[in-house]
Amino acid sequence: MTDSIEKIIKQIRKNPKGVSFSDLSKVCKHYFGEPRHESSSHCIYKTPWQGDPRINIQNDKGKAKAYQVRQVIQAIDKLEAQNGNKTNNTK
């Protein structure tokens, strides 16, 4: 995992509010690969499981929505638990 990704993850774990959409997008791409659907306001990422936590992030004037940041954190924790705390660069 790159230092910048680690920094962003530490930041979003401390404060899920005020996270930039571009930072959250970088983290999602690192863990889940390119979005399976991308529009001007939403990015949807594929996960190796069905159901929650889903990865659907929304650009709200350059910021990510706090509840979606928390969902990304839950998904990363679930992914790391499945992989034995190994980082997953891309699919």
Per residue in 41-90, pLDDT (tens digit) is 889 999 999 988 889 999 999 999 999 999 999 999 999 999 887 544 44
Look up the pTM and report it: 0.84
Q: For 47-56, write each residue's pLDDT tens digit.
A: 999 988 889 9
CA dist 77 → 3, 38, 50, 62, 86 (Å): 18, 24, 15, 25, 11
Over 70: is that where the pLDDT of 14 sits? yes
Comparing 2 with 36, which gets the higher pLDDT?
36
CB 26 within 8 A of CB 74: no
Over 60: is that where the pLDDT of 20 sits? yes
Instruction: State how far the Cα of 45 lies from the Cα of 54, in Å rounded to an integer.
Output: 8
Q: What is the pLDDT of residue 9?
A: 95
